[in-house]
Each structure stands twice: as structure tokens, then as C-alpha cells.
Amino acid sequence: MKNRVLVIGGGHAGVEAAIASAAVGCRTTLVTPDVSRISLMSCNPAIGGIAKGTLVREIDGLGGVAAESADNTALQFRMLNTKKGPAVWGPRVQSDVNEYCLSQREKLEKAGVNIVQGLVTKLMGPRKRITGVVLGNGKEINAEAFVLATGTFLDGMLHRGKTAWPGGRRGDVSAVALEKDIRERMFHVKRFKTGTSPRVLRNSIDTSCLQKQISHDMQFRFSWASRGGIKNRETCWVTRTTGETEEIVKKSLKKSALYSGRIHSKGPRYCPSFEDKVTKFPDRTGHPIHIEPMGLSSRVMYLNGLSTSMPEEIQQEIVRSLPGFKNAVISAYGYTVEYTCFETGEFEKTLRLKETDNLYVSGQILGTSGYEEAAATGLLAGANAARRVLGLEERIPDRMNSYLGVMVDDLVTRGTDEPYRLFSSRSENRLNLRQDNADRRVFAFAVALGTLSQKKQTEYRAREEKYNQLRHELLSRRFKGKSIQDICKRPEVSPVDVSELIGYNASNIDDRETVTTLVLDLKYAGYVKRAEKRHKVRKRYSDVSLLHIIDYNVVDTITIEAREALNKRKPETLSDAEAIPAVRQADLDALVLYLMKHSVSRET
């Protein structure tokens, strides 16, 4: 059969891209150098977190596979932020890294994706319309649309101390030739960097003095397809840096690849290296370090929070200064990877490169960071690539309905000058973008995108019906003279209480979750409505064109700083102007006034 969509790179983005493309209905091939490393977690062995965990559930609602694999391979589960409100609860699992790779590979095979082992070295055809790819062994593969999902591999350079060597990540080759081809095709690219922590042998750690962490006692699973809650299969530990740790880092700062001036690319401010932490907060000690197994009974433990690119001997010193790590043996040292990704402005919200008809990008090369971010953008890129091939309209998620929408919109309209990761605060509709209602929020988009199987659609509709029935029943009754809305607004009311009110027996996780969503929907309804209204107003700003202002110096009522910024950035619309940091509220007020006067004088 003829291949229609080709996905380059079998990481978190590539797997979802290939499966989504197949789901939309295209014969799909995935090219990746090593099938045993499909969806390998390059960094920490965990999926989820604040906003990220919610995104994983959106992926599930969109027909993706990360959620199911995360459930199947979880070693323990924790719900972050339980003391900060249900809207920002962050489900997170520790994963068995190898099991995860296997699970993802299985999903690919089940979806009928054709897997080819190989390293893409060149694209074929004109820039506008790619016709195929060339592999390292000279073999050529043709297709009608392509999804690039090459992660940290494009001209990847690894750094540790004063040494630097090419590589996509530890144990992988760098995609040098492909990067060169991309540059030669005149796409605008930039260099980002990110780092990872040393791994330590489990039996060299004395855990007797460390704080233990096991699963939260809470029934949870990411995917509606999983049965039963996640079970605790492994223990994690927490230790804290001592003043000694910080001292070692401070005195060796010059030896770090990051601080010796060897790396100039931008790293994630929010996922800082340990060097960054010590430099930024010189007085703080006691930084928490989480000790996480790379797999069930794995010999290797990941030190979350200790990302560093110090030379090996310093890493040794740092690790050994931690309580419980006096005799620790490092099995793999931390390092920093520097890689090429696409410049903001190169891709559309459909994730297609603007200058091309059929080349899509996803994952790390969009300028994002994180498995979850990669997986979600992969899904969107893969589905749109397939839709384009089939002559269907490409789809764009709405930022008011999903974190995927927030992310895509941010990346395209605001851009990013450091690896982008999701935060709950990136959304202006946070009380609605919760983990419990992810499937409800994305369902319509999933159907439009064509990635959700018939079976899953039917299951969803059954849940939806249950929800509506319950909702109807609750709304049509009064409880001791009070409406259900009033009751739900009371802080102490739990979904269990509400189930009892109407004698509803929520016996399994699914039913309980449906009630939870209903209660939270009622509780936050007013706020969500307001957020949506504000969004509409803001959207009107995006209708106000600023293109007729050639030189902002004529708008003499705004600050000089703002004028300069506006002249430099030349925003297309008022909402683009709003997004420029140098443009303050008063400047916007003044700009609106100017526009009002201007439009009046044009009319008369």
C-alpha cells in the first residue's frame, strides 16, 4: 500500500503524530533510528504534573495514547496541589521507563503504523512541497505529508564541564545532516538548551535517613480506558541539599558547561539547572531532591532537582554531599543538550510550516519542553497532516477549551525565547481547564479532528448522558430550600455529599469522576462565564488592526519605551500590542484613544 504520511522521529511527539495520522485515515510510516528507544524518557521517569497532567488527560480525550501508557506503566501516583483547589490539581505518575517504551511501541503496532528503523539525513523535493526523505543508508521513502518530531536531536551537542560532543541525548547520535538540510532550506531556526541530572545506583544509597514517598491514597487513572486506580509499585525518597552542596557548586561554577560561557542558547527558566538555582538564590539551602527509580526494581535512580552540567568529579562531590549519599555511585552523569528548533513565526496554529504545503512540526522542535507538551503537539500535527492529505480542513484547538489550545496559541502568537512548558497560569480560563473534565472539554474538537475512535466516542456519549441526567435532576430540585448551585458554592461540600443528596451510588471511579465534574462545573460556572466574556472582548482587540500606523512616534501620548517597542515589533492588532511587555496599560489606553480619534477623523 502507498505510504501517505511520514513521521520523522519516534519520541513522544512522533508516536502520537503517527497514531493520530493513522486514526484520521492515512497509511502512516514512522522513521526512527532505534525501535527500542521509542518514546524513551530522556530526562526524569515521570509523566504529568501541574497543567501537564491535565494535558495528558486531554490527550486521552483526543484519542492519543500517552495517558493509557502512563497508567499501564505507573510505579506510583501522586496528586500535586491538593491544597490549592481542584482546578490546579496536578496528577503525576512515576513511570517504568522501559515498560513505557514497550507500551508505546505496542500502541503504534496496534494502530497499524509502519515502523522503519533509520536516521533521516535529508528531505527531498522543493522547500514548498517535500516529496520524500533520504535515510542514512541511502534508502528513500516518499509520502504526501511529513511530520518532523526530532526532539533534541537536530545538531544536538552534549555538554559536561569543558567537554562537548555531538549527540541527540545520551546514547544517541545527533541529527547533523538533517539540521543542515533544514538550514539550507532557509527555515528560521534557533538554539535552545536543556539539562538533566545524574543517575545513581540504588544500592549505593542509604535510604534509612531519607523521607519516603509512596502513592497518594486516591483512586486515579489518566485514561478513561484504564480500569481501576493506579497501584503503588515502587517507593521514592526525598533528600535535601545541605549548605555543603551549594558551596561545592559555588566554588566550581566556572567549571560548569553552563557558566563557563560555552553555551549561549536559552535554557528553561522554570526547569533550572542546579547551577541556576544556586546562582539565583545564593542564600537558600535545603533544595529538595527527589530520588526516583527509573523502573520497577531498577538499579538506577534518577535525582530529580539536580540537573547539572558540571564535570564528572564535581558531580561526584555534589552527589556525595547529600544526606544518605556518602557512598553513592553515579551510573550516568548529568549533562546539558543544545539543539536546534524552529523560530516563532515559522509555523501556523495547525503546526504546518508556513512556507510549505505539507511539512508539519511538533514536540521539542517547536520550542517546547516536556514529554506531555511534545505528545499533545504531535497528536495535532499528525492529525492535521493526515487531514491535509485527505483534502480535509485542518483544525486548530481553542485556547479557552484546552491546554493544547493555550500552548499552540502561545507558541504562535506570543512566541517563546526559552523552552516553553505549560503552567496553569498560562490559561485565562484555569477554573475550567481542570483534569477531571478534560474529556468533556476536548470532545467536540476530537470529533472535528477525527482522532477519536468510534468506540471511544460511544463511551464518551454514555458518560455525557449520565452527566446530563444527574445535572438535570440536581437542577430541578431544591435541597432544604436551597438550589444545588448554592450548595456547590459552599467550600466544604464534596462530590460525595452531593451524590448522597440524591441517593446516587457512584460505585466506581468513572461515576465518581462524573459527579466531581458536575459539582465543580456548578461551583465555577459564574467565573467561567466571565472569563469567556472577557475573552470575547479581547478577541475584538484582535480585530483592531494597527497596520496603518507606520511610525508610533506620531502617537505622542504613549511612553517612549512603548513607542520603541511598537516600532520594532509592529504588532498586527491591538491584542498583539497588548502582549508586548514594554507596552503598559496606560500606553494601551492612550493607543485606544488615538485610534478612536484617528478613525473619527477618517470618517469625516
Give whichever of 36 and 453 is closer to ligand FAD, judged by the CB atom: 36
Between strands 330-332 and 199-201, the pairing is antiparallel
**Alpha helices in 390-483, H assignment, sequence order:** 403-409, 438-449, 454-476
Provide the 10 A C-beta neighbour count for residue 83.
Answer: 6
The C-alpha cell at 369 is: 519542553
Of 279, 284, 203, nearest to 240 (Cα)? 284
**Alpha carbons 305 and 44: distance in angstroms, whole number:** 10
Residue 341 CB-density burial (10 A; 0-12 exposed, 13-18 middle, 19+ buried): buried
x/- map, 423-452, another protein, by CB under 8 A: xxx----xx---------------------
Q: How far is the CB of 53 from ligand FAD (least distance, A)?
A: 13
Cβ atoms of 90 and 52 within 8 Å: the answer is yes
Please identify which residue in 371, 403, 460, 552 interacts with ligand FAD, judged by CB under 6 A.
371
Q: How far is the CB of 288 from another protein (least distance, A)?
A: 5
Of 427, 413, 415, nearest to 367 (Cα)? 415
Give whichever of 180 and 584 is closer to another protein, judged by the CB atom: 584
Q: Is 527 an interacting residue with respect to another protein (CB under 8 A)?
A: yes
Find the part of the chain contacting ligand FAD (CB under 6 A) among 93-101, 343-351, 366-374, 473-481. 366-374
How many Cα atoms sit within 13 Å of 193 on the Cβ side? 22
Give the number of residues in contact with ligand FAD, rule: CB under 6 A.
38
Find the part of the chain contacting ligand FAD (CB under 6 A) among 151-159, 274-282, 393-401, 591-599. 151-159
Give whichever of 120 and 431 is closer to ligand FAD, judged by the CB atom: 120
Q: Is 420 an interacting residue with respect to ligand FAD (CB under 6 A)?
A: no
Between strands 288-293 and 236-240, the pairing is antiparallel
What residues are paired with 28 via a beta bridge? 5
Q: Is 305 an interacting residue with respect to ligand FAD (CB under 6 A)?
A: no
Q: What share of the chain is helix, strand, coil (3-state, %, to 5)?
A: 40, 20, 40
The DSSP symbol for 343 reads: P
Of 408, 411, 420, nearest to 381 (Cα)? 408
Q: Could you say which residues in the range 7-66 bind another protein, by CB under 8 A?
A: 50-51
Please identify which residue in 203, 557, 567, 599 interacts with another protein, judged by CB under 8 A.
557
Q: Is 114 an interacting residue with respect to another protein (CB under 8 A)?
A: no
The C-alpha cell at 533 is: 466574556
Element (H, E) at 237: strand 236-240
Find the part of the chain contacting ligand FAD (CB under 6 A) among 32-40, 250-258, 323-331, 476-484. 32-40
x/- map, 311-340, another protein, by CB under 8 A: ------------------------------
Provide the 10 A C-beta neighbour count for residue 400.
Answer: 20
Q: Is 130 an interacting residue with respect to ligand FAD (CB under 6 A)?
A: no
Q: Is 31 an interacting residue with respect to ligand FAD (CB under 6 A)?
A: yes
Q: Which amino acid is at 196?
A: T
Residue 499 CB-density burial (10 A; 0-12 exposed, 13-18 middle, 19+ buried): buried
Sign of CA dihedral 178, 183, 187, 193: positive
**Alpha carbons 101 and 301: distance in angstroms, whole number:** 18
Q: Is 252 an interacting residue with respect to ligand FAD (CB under 6 A)?
A: no
Q: How far is the CB of 11 from ligand FAD (least distance, A)?
A: 2
Q: Is 149 an interacting residue with respect to ligand FAD (CB under 6 A)?
A: yes
Please identify which residue in 36, 84, 110, 227 interacts with another protein, judged by CB under 8 A.
84
Q: Could you say which residues in the range 54-113 bind ligand FAD, by CB under 6 A?
A: none
Q: How far is the CB of 428 from ligand FAD (least distance, A)?
A: 23
Q: Is 271 an interacting residue with respect to ligand FAD (CB under 6 A)?
A: yes
Q: How far is the CB of 169 from ligand FAD (least distance, A)?
A: 4
Of 31, 33, 36, 2, nearest to 14 (Cα)? 31
**Alpha carbons 326 and 314: distance in angstroms, whole number:** 14
Grouping H, G, I as helix, E, B as strand and the rest as coil, residue 253 is helix
Cβ atoms of 402 and 187 within 8 Å: the answer is no
Find the part of the chain contacting ligand FAD (CB under 6 A) among 63-71, 82-90, 193-201, 583-591. 193-201
Give whichever of 252 and 307 is closer to ligand FAD, judged by the CB atom: 307
Q: Is 175 an interacting residue with respect to ligand FAD (CB under 6 A)?
A: yes
Binding-site partner at residue 593 among another protein, ligand FAD, none, CB < 5 to 8 Å by type: another protein
Give whichever of 90 and 118 is closer to another protein, judged by the CB atom: 90
Q: Is 144 an interacting residue with respect to ligand FAD (CB under 6 A)?
A: no
Residue 92 CB-density burial (10 A; 0-12 exposed, 13-18 middle, 19+ buried): buried
Cβ atoms of 152 and 168 within 8 Å: the answer is yes
The C-alpha cell at 187 is: 527555515
Q: How far is the CB of 295 from another protein (least distance, A)?
A: 23
Q: Is 496 an interacting residue with respect to another protein (CB under 8 A)?
A: no
Helices 371-389 and 52-61 pack at an angle, to 10 degrees, of 30
Binding-site partner at residue 444 among ligand FAD, another protein, none, CB < 5 to 8 Å by type: none
Cβ atoms of 228 and 279 within 8 Å: the answer is no
Binding-site partner at residue 306 among another protein, ligand FAD, none, CB < 5 to 8 Å by type: none
Please identify which residue in 117, 121, 211, 559 interacts with another protein, judged by CB under 8 A.
559
Q: Is 308 an interacting residue with respect to ligand FAD (CB under 6 A)?
A: no
- Interface residues toward ligand FAD, by CB under 6 A: 8-14, 31-33, 37, 42-43, 119-120, 149-153, 168-169, 172, 175, 178, 194-196, 271, 307, 337, 363-364, 369-371, 374, 421
- Interface residues toward another protein, by CB under 8 A: 50-51, 80-81, 83-88, 90, 270, 287-288, 290, 305, 423-425, 430-431, 491-492, 524, 527, 530-531, 556-560, 584-590, 592-593, 596
